[in-house]
Amino acid sequence: MAETAEKRSGAPTVLIADDEVMLRLVAAETLQDAGFEVSEAGDGTAAFSMLQADPSIDLLVSDIKMPGMNGIELAEAGLKLRPGLKVLLMTGYATETLPECLRHQGLEILRKPFDLNRLAALALGLVGKAA
């Protein structure tokens, strides 16, 4: 995946956090094809470190269920760090809901399995049209 230092002019940057490697790779490729610069993290702790280090990240796409720091904790920490951060959470659990504090932040939840076109459409809708 492209490093943010190689960011194309005007392309929004997305950080994908998911412990499922194949899903992360397919999602990253889909979002790159939609015009995003993509960074990846295999867990919430690594993703949060990347958010702290890279202020150019426009969108966080994270699985909710991950070992260690889960996606909800990551979203809360990311929004505390950067209140304007856009967040798209993914889950394979039909009963997964957002805490009240996150529902008011305008976060989106994408249920797994999902259509890759839906992922790209939601991401583009959250940050605007990619370059």
Nearest to 4 by CA among 120, 14, 30: 14
> Percent of the chain at pLDDT above 70?
81
CA–CA separation, 56 vs 64, rounded Å?
23
Give the mean model confidence (pLDDT) for residues 87-114: 77
Domain boundaries, the chain: 4-127
CA–CA separation, 14 vs 105, rounded Å?
18
CATH topology of domain 4-127: Rossmann fold (3.40.50)
Give the mean model confidence (pLDDT) for residues 91-110: 71
CA–CA separation, 23 vs 101, rounded Å?
28
Give the mean model confidence (pLDDT) for residues 59-69: 94
- pLDDT confidence of residue 2: 39
